[in-house]
Structure 1
Amino acid sequence: MPRRALILVEGHRDIGLLYVKAAQRLGLHPITLSADPTQYDYLAANSLGAIRVDTDNLDALMYECSRIGATYDVAGITGFAGLDESVCATVAKLCRHFDLPGPDPTSVERCCNKFAQRQLLAKAGAPVPAYRLAANATDVESAAVEIGLPVILKPAVGGGSIGVRLCRDLDELTEHATHLLGGRHTWRSSPRILVEEFVQGPLYGANIMGNEVIAIGAAEFGSPPHFVFRKITHPAPLTDKEHERIADVSVSCLRALGLDWGPKNIEFRWTKRGPVVIEVNPRLTGGPSPQLIQLAHGVDLITEHIKLVTGDELDLRKRHSHVAAAQFLVADRDGTLNCIDGDAQAAAVPGVAEIKFYVEPSARIARKGDYRDFIGYVMTASPSHAETEAILQRAFSFIRWSITPCSTLGK
């Protein structure tokens, strides 16, 4: 009888290996399809199967999946959105083609287009920021004046906060529009910019499986104009009523977008009018959030996602109630990383769950104003918010790094 395989389209530097290990625990053979398998260190380090293929080419992916199916029993297909959210839609199309469990491709594709997503949510009465779509600098300025500065400029299609910036005046608006439209930003389709009201308030993220809100976390960004995460905490310190409102709005968003299958995450800002939807993502969130949810609630969303993908029964019961948090190490300048250490001392602090560095000494640092500015994180957990925060700060105090500025490094 052929061995059961799980096909993974592309990889992920944070949760890719977690998916691989979870698949192996479930008796599956993980096979990664990637345009460049060498970018995922864990594949070579663990001697994992990988096939080089153009993951933007649906026909090429179908061919490789069929070829794998000649040797293995393909139990399921899933994948990861990194720089390009369209991977989510590609995976959905593959699942539909091979008659495997997966989301509706049309719903996922609409969700990945931030303008189409906004239109559907607004039509359904979901609380969203004011927004306009722009194709050129003139449209951008007109939309910003109409909405009122400051505004957020972001590509209508994309992920990882790439190209997202707060523009506080017309000079910043012109500068960033020029950046996005002048050839410095990589577009996989026709350039379209979403001009959006700058909604202020605490940031929360709802993590969902199917139609069930599993966990709501709190997040903090660094200083504007960019939106680079500094800290994530699970669960968010919400009242029962606040939690219920976010959960209710989350379910209404899923209904409006036709997303009733699999993992999703929804970002909110809590304002005077309650939760305002910043973004709906048709996938499990990346970074350390899945691990934080497991530490806080005992729910392994990665394993449960794989079970869903392969047609097995899920178990989303919460097993305990702890508080978990991750604080990111973020580059504060461009240059060359001289050193980064202290991880051994930090890991020895009771309550520390993980220390992870993304870079090594001598690495070139060129900040982008998005998730690529992370150089690592510290993750902790305990029975209370206060204790978790104390552990996090103590562990973080041991981490040391230095960057020698280099004026020749480009942004």
Structure 2
Amino acid sequence: MPQPVLLLGAGRRRAYDEGVLTRIASARPVLLVDAAPPAWAQPCLAGHLAADPGKGGATASAVVRFAARHRVRGVLTYSGEYAVAAARIAGQLGLPGPSLAVVTACADPPALRALLAGRAVPVGDPDDPGAPRAPGVPSRVSAETVVLDGEIRIAAITRTTLGPAPARQPLRHTVHAHDGLLHNRFLRLAVDRTVRALGVDRGVLHIGLALTDRGPRVTDVAPHLPGDLIPLLVRRATGVDLARAAAALATGEAADTTPTRQRTAAVQFAYPAATGRLDHLELSPDAAHEPGADRMLLTRHTGSHVTAGPYATAADRLALWVAVGETPADCDDALRRMARHLSAGISPLADAVNAA
């Protein structure tokens, strides 16, 4: 059996995390470091170390002791919460991965922007919407980047449509295999300079950028797999498997980033229209029969408290649905048709309090 990879945290949101874990497990046996792994993760695991990845040095010491008795090939996480711990453990074990200094810098937005600006990287503030743009036109994008021994490849561009202020939560992510930004020399230059400024020579990076009237500006860097089903979109649109690539790079192997598809994939998120108690949430099974439908899932339970869209967090999302098509317009149409199969009822906050 191939030597396993240590994964810090399985995640708690099955709709988002199960697919990534499944793809990693298809590449390498997975030894999970998690205090209480969810039941849905069990079929993907070769073993489990009961430790809380969020407890820093104590968990790192436990993992190092564990690795002294078991042969481990790499350390990986797809959670920003545990990225620093993963880097610390990989460094102590002498395994591949982004350095602790890099991951720590990425977790501190002002420090990251100062570091990048000092290396001639065009930077922007993630809270600054940039140049005015037409409604519904994404001004925020991310470059899903794979780095292997200094070779930098942008595997895909994710375009994100943001919701209203102040929360500005993502409403939709779209990946198009033929996105014109893949050939934008200013964006590619910003990505290249970012990777080199951070000194990353292997790994999967999610590099956020704002499209402004001054050109692309780097806003943030996640030195790990992106969330929000973006790896699924990239795989559906291009055939590039970011999760398997991350597992390969974490274990010192080469990653296959050869595109095998030329399509478009998109995910849409539904947020509450009001703040209050979720009394009704239903998805018609007919949604699965819509042309272009990939999946549609409910992500909240009735009886829970939810917050309206402008102030919502990702935890308030009611449902998500994924569509695949030849073009972004095909996905737009499919997502619109699928949305009609979702119904929700919310008792506004005042009514919910009075009924309690």
TM-score, with structure 1 as normaliser: 0.75
1-structure distance, mates of 2:212, 2:177: 15
Letter in 2 for 1:104: S
Shift of 1:253: 1.3
Structure 2 match to 1:33: 33
Would you say the 8 A contact 1:334–1:366 is kept in 2? yes
C-alpha separation between the residues in 1 aligned to 2:187 and 2:272? 32
Query: Letter of the aligned partner of 2:162 in structure 1?
Result: F
Quickly say closer, same or farther: Cα 1:337–1:50, change in 2 above 3 A: farther
Q: How does 1:378-389 map to 2 (within 5 A)?
A: 378-389=321-332
Taking a change above 3 Å as real, the CA distance of residues 244 and 347 of structure 1, as seen in their structure-2 partners, is farther
Equivalent residue for 1:112? 107
Give 5+ residue unaligned stretches, structure 2. Answer: 134-138
Structure 2 counterpart of 1:206: 143
Q: 5 Å matches for 1:70-149? A: 72-82=70-80, 84=81, 87-129=82-124
1:312 match: secondary structure: coil
Question: Are 2:265 and 1:324 equivalent residues in the alignment?
Answer: yes
CA distance 1:338–1:77, change in 2 (3 Å): same
Tell me the alpha carbon deviations over residues 367-389 of structure 1, each in whole angstroms, 9 at most, x when there is no partner: 66332222221100011222221
Deviations 1:162-191 (A, max 9, x none): xxxxxxxxxxxxxxxxxxxxxxxxxxxxxx
Contact 2:145 2:204 in 1 (8 A): yes
Q: Counterpart in 1 of 2:3?
A: 4
Tell me which amino acid in the other structure corresponds to 2:26: R
Between 1:294-303 and 1:121-130, the stretch displaced more is 121-130
Distance (whole Å) between structure 2 residues aligned to residue 303 and residue 74 of structure 1: 17
How far did residue 240 of structure 1 move?
Answer: 5.8
Q: State the distance in 1 between where 2:253 and 2:183 align.
A: 33
Of 54, 79, 84, the match for 1:56: 54
CA positional deviation for 1:333: 2.2
Task: Find the counterpart in structure 2 of residue 230 from structure 1.
Answer: 171
Correspondence for 1:402? 345
How far does the alpha carbon of each residue in 1:103-153 deviate from its partner, in whole angstroms, 9 at most, with x for none? 1221221122111101111112222237xxxxxxxxxxxxxxxxxxxx94x
* Counterpart-to-counterpart distance in 2, 1:98 and 1:256: 25
Structure 1 letter corresponding to 2:167: H
Q: Is 1:262 aligned with 2:203?
A: yes
In the superposition, relative to structure 1, how do residues 34 and 332 fare at CA in structure 2: closer, same or farther (>3 Å)? farther
User: Secondary structure in 1 aligned to 2:324?
Assistant: strand
CA contact (8 A) 1:307 1:314 kept: yes
Indicate yes or no: 2:238 matched with 1:302. Answer: no
Per mean C-alpha deviation after superposition, the further-off stretch among 324-333 and 19-28 is 19-28
Cα 1:63/1:276, change in 2 over 3 Å: closer
Aligned-pair CA distance for 1:207: 0.5
Q: Does structure 2 conserve the Cα–Cα contact (< 8 Å) formed by 1:230 and 1:327? A: yes
Aligned residues between the structures: 338
Q: Which whole-Å deviations, capped at 9, do the CAs of 1:68-101 have from their partners, x for residues lacking one? A: 436642122111325x3xx212211111111212
| SS of residue in 2 equivalent to 1:254 | helix
Residue deviations 1:208-245 (CA, integer Å, cap 9, x gap): 01121111121101111112000111128753686332
Q: 1:211-360 counterparts in 2 under 5 A?
A: 211-235=152-176, 238-239=179-180, 243-360=184-301
Cα separation, 2, equivalents of 1:397 and 1:347: 12
SS at match of 2:224: coil
Q: Is the 8 A contact 1:68 1:74 kept in 2?
A: no
Matching residue of 2:136: none
- Kept after mapping to 1: 8 A contact 2:177/2:262: no
1:323 to 1:254, Cα distance in 2 relative to 1, 3 A: same
**Tell me, what secondary structure is at the counterpart of 1:74?**
coil
Look up the SS of the partner of 2:197 in the other structure. Answer: helix
- CA separation of 1:3/1:271 partners in 2, compared to 1, >3 Å: closer, same or farther? closer
Task: Look up the equivalent residue of 1:342 and give its one-letter code.
Answer: L
Residue 167 of structure 1: aligned partner: none
User: Measured at CA, do residues 299 and 126 of structure 1 come closer, stay the same or move farther in structure 2, by a change above 3 Å?
Assistant: same
**Distance change >3 Å, CA 7–CA 15, structure 1 → 2:** farther
Identity of matched residues, %? 22
Q: What CA distance in whole angstroms lies between the structure 2 residues aligned with 1:49 and 1:339?
A: 39
2:262 partner amino acid: S
Q: Which ranges in structure 1 are unaligned for 5 or more consecutive residues?
A: 131-150, 153-196
